[in-house]
Amino acid sequence: GQQVMQIPQYQHVQEGEDFTTYCNSSTTLSNIQWYKQRPGGHPVFLIQLVKSGEVKKQKRLTFQFGEAKKNSSLHITATQTTDVGTYFCAGPPRETSGSRLTFGEGTQLTVNP
Amino acid sequence: DGGITQSPKYLFRKEGQNVTLSCEQNLNHDAMYWYRQDPGQGLRLIYYSQIVNDFQKGDIAEGYSVSREKKESFPLTVTSAQKNPTAFYLCASSISYGAYGYTFGSGTRLTVV
């Protein structure tokens, strides 16, 4: 079955440093979605990427979808304490567009002030 | 405001008892999902429903059951057959099956003693 892997599993940074998490799927994806879960909270949808090579920005967050639509990355510039949480990628397989999402195991980000 | 309501937030049950977790949404979403999250891990799909009166097993359906008699409601029953039921349970919905970002409820933390 489809597998979605994320690295690193944990990342500790000093406030102001940059942060990147990578997502790799075993199958081609029709789209990739990113979610953020604050400690003790629930996942919140951040963004969806659909096109091969697509890049989207949300303030200090930059999201990329790979050319082959099998990988993605989330980059945060100049982290702040409000960025603390676990970031998940998720996607449905391309051949079954619209099917259920498979989530990666997430990257847990801690930011030291 | 539209959203997903999960209740209760915390639930304690004795081993061998069935327990039902509530999930109600007023977003007029067709699709609903149940995920399980264990500490430090990703989200695993238990059951999903594309439309009212229809549902399918996810990756870890054994020991769980659901119903979808109303569009707004998708309750999950954790039966005594579930060998390790203590976990954080998240309900989610989407406009259509998998094509858009999920909206998650705030979750129910189930502890079985």
Per-residue pLDDT tens digits for B4-27: 999 999 999 999 899 999 999 999
Residue A105 at interface with chain B, using a CB cutoff of 8 Å: yes
Task: State whether A98 and B98 contact (CB < 8 Å).
Answer: yes
Q: Which residue of B has its CA nearest to A85?
A: B40
| pLDDT at residue A98, rounded to an integer | 53
**Average pLDDT of chain A to the nearest whole number:** 93
Q: How many A×B Cβ pairs under 8 Å? A: 56
Nearest to A63 by CA among A97, A42, A82, A90: A90
Interval B41-58: pLDDT, tens: 889 999 999 999 999 999
Question: Which amino acid would we find at residue B21?
Answer: L
**Residue A8 β-bridge partners:** none
Distance between CA atoms of A51 and A68, rounded to whole angstroms? 10
**Residue A48 β-bridge partners:** A33
CA dihedral A91, A95, A99, A100 (to 10 degrees): -40
Q: Is the pLDDT of residue B65 over 90?
A: yes
Residue with tokens 């406009």: B95
Q: What is the DSSP string of A44-68?
A: EEEEEE-STT-EEEETTEEEEE-TT
CA B12 to chain A, closest CA, distance in angstroms equals: 18
Cα B23 to chain center, whole Å? 7
CB A7 within 8 A of CB A88: no
Q: What are phi and psi of B76, to 5 degrees?
A: -115, 130
Task: State whether B43 and A43 contact (CB < 8 Å).
Answer: yes
Name A96's Cβ contacts closer than 8 Å, sequence gap at least 6: none
Nearest to B39 by CA among B87, B78, B6: B87
For residues A96 and A24, which has the higher predicted lDDT (pLDDT)?
A: A24
Percent of all residues in chain B with a pLDDT value above 90, rounded to a whole number: 80
Distance between CA atoms of A33 and B5, rounded to whole angstroms? 23
Task: State whether B90 and A42 contact (CB < 8 Å).
Answer: yes
